[in-house]
């Protein structure tokens, strides 16, 4: 009995390691109109969800639609990141926020979903990534969100 338990535990552990090691098939997405770009894991965000409601870019969904990603360039209205962010009337219960003279990042939880927004400012645009994913899966998403955020760039 004890041997069967260890054998099952070892198989489970190895299958988790193998699943985590699978490549996410990262590709560079470029917003054609603005030149903003970001790395996107195409094996995770497999569905095209069309254009964002405003600005330029694209929206992507996971195949089960439990998570989504928007890559978007919008007019920054001539505002610095702090003023632009404030003008969007963010919720008061933000868990994480960082604002500099070149970008802002904000994240929180709503309806058991983590929302994460980052906007880099360049010229007349705010180049943004907006990611929503299940809060219960935070650890699995941390590395993905970090790479997407860190690779957001403008021309």
pTM of the model: 0.84
Res. 50: pLDDT tops 60: yes
Q: What is the mean pLDDT of residues 47-73?
A: 97
Model pLDDT for residues 3-28, shown as the tens digit of each residue: 444 443 333 333 333 334 456 799 99
Model pLDDT for residues 95-144, shown as the tens digit of each residue: 999 999 999 999 999 999 999 999 999 999 999 999 999 999 999 999 99
* Mean per-residue pLDDT of the chain: 88
What band does 155 get if pLDDT is binned at 50, 70 and 90? confident
What is the per-residue pLDDT for 24? 79
CB 136 within 8 A of CB 113: no
Other beta carbons less than 10 A from residue 95's beta carbon: 10
Give the SS3 label for residue 71.
Answer: strand
What is the per-residue pLDDT for 46? 97
CB proximity list for 107: less than 8 A, separation 6 or greater: 94, 95, 96, 97, 114, 115, 116, 117
- Name the nearest CA neighbour of 70 among 97, 95, 50: 50
């Amino acid at each position: 009995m004890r041997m069967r338990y260890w054998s099952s535990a070892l198989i489970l552990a190895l299958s988790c390691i193998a699943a985590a090691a699978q490549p996410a098939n990262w590709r560079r997405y470029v917003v054609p109109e603005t030149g903003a770009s970001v790395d996107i894991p195409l094996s995770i965000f497999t569905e095209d969800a069309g254009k964002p409601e405003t600005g330029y870019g694209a929206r992507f969904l996971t195949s089960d639609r439990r998570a989504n990603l928007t890559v978007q360039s919008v007019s920054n209205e001539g505002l610095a990141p702090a003023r632009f962010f404030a003008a969007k009337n963010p919720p008061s219960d933000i868990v994480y926020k960082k604002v500099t003279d070149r970008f802002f990042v904000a994240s929180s939880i709503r309806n058991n979903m983590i929302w994460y927004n980052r906007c880099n400012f360049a010229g007349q645009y705010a180049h943004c990534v907006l990611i929503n994913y299940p809060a219960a899966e935070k650890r699995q998403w941390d590395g993905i969100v970090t790479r997407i955020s860190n690779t957001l760039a403008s021309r």
